[in-house]
Chain A
Amino acid sequence: MTLLTAVFAAISSTIVWYFKDGGNQFRVGTLSLMYWGAALMWLVDAFFEYAETGAGYFTPLPSDMLNDFFLGISVVALGLIIWLALLLFKDPKNVVKRALQKSDAS
């Protein structure tokens, strides 16, 4: 479930990057690469778990599935927080800089 959540986050962010941020001005490309990196790593994890448990891997307990989904959503949120911090730090539209200058002037 965590893998699936990360894959959907990676696909969604890649689509947003392609249609809205091709030049990576708002770092959506960076966000999608982060999610793709995590998704690939969880894919390896899933492969090893499948090798250990066999077909049982595809029939998890509902409580495990819920916990994994909760973890997946939290991971997506963490990725967005990292991206937001990066965006505000890079400040491509000088919004933060202008706001700081405004507060300095007043």
Chain B
Amino acid sequence: MACFVVPAAEAVVTTVVHKLVTAKEKKEGITSQQHGDLSTKIPFSHKLKWLNNMLWGGSALLAFEHIWHGEVTPWFPFLSSADSASETAEMLHEMSTAGVAMAVLVTGVWLGIATISSFIEKRPQQNIEIGR
């Protein structure tokens, strides 16, 4: 019904945090990883951008699905389930269950990716040439 609103709200928060972290890193002289440079550590702001992309992208595509099913309308209040009290209650229940679960799962997967990338950064560079 409107489950995508929860990850979209998280995306707004993480975007603000990303801006703040980028400004802080700039002040400290930490720059984003150069193209092809494997010697530098990936800044936290760069990793945060991965979460932003997953949350914004996922929310946008899910919003499209809701438009497809007629659950999001181009007129106020923009959600068809906001028309009656019982449907609103159902929508809020879905947001608090499926919506929160979506946000938690995406954040959890991002935490996993960020942790694995930290291990990969520490690993010595591999010199495997494919096809030789």
Residues on A lying within 8 angstroms of B by beta carbon are 2, 6, 22-23, 25, 30, 33-45, 47-48, 71, 74-75, 78-79, 82
Contacts and interface: CB of A to CB of B under 8 A. Distances in A.
Interface of B: 3-4, 7, 35-36, 50, 53-62, 64-65, 68, 97-98, 101-102, 105-106, 109
Nearest to B34: A23
Of the listed residues B35, B36, B61, the one surrounded by the most CB atoms of chain A closer than 10 A to its CB is: B61
B65 A44 contact: no
B62 to A, nearest CB: 5
A40 B61 contact: no
Contact of A44 (B36, B60, B64, B102): B102
A77 B65 CA distance: 13
Given A71-B68, A74-B68, A44 B54 contact: no
B68 A40 contact: no
19 contacts: A33-B50, A34-B57, A34-B58, A37-B7, A37-B54, A37-B56, A37-B106, A38-B57, A40-B102, A41-B4, A41-B62, A41-B106, A42-B62, A45-B3, A48-B97, A48-B101, A74-B64, A79-B57, A82-B60
A95 B106 CA distance: 35
Contacts, number: 82
Given A34-B60, A36-B109, A45-B98, 8 more contacts: A23-B35, A30-B53, A33-B53, A36-B58, A40-B109, A44-B105, A48-B101, A71-B65
B101 A34 contact: no
Which of A6, A33, A82 gathers most chain B CB within 10 Å? Answer: A33
A48 B98 contact: yes
B3 A36 contact: no
Nearest to B46: A24
Given A30-B53, A37-B106, A48-B98, A79 B61 contact: yes
Nearest to A92: B35
A39 B109 CA distance: 12
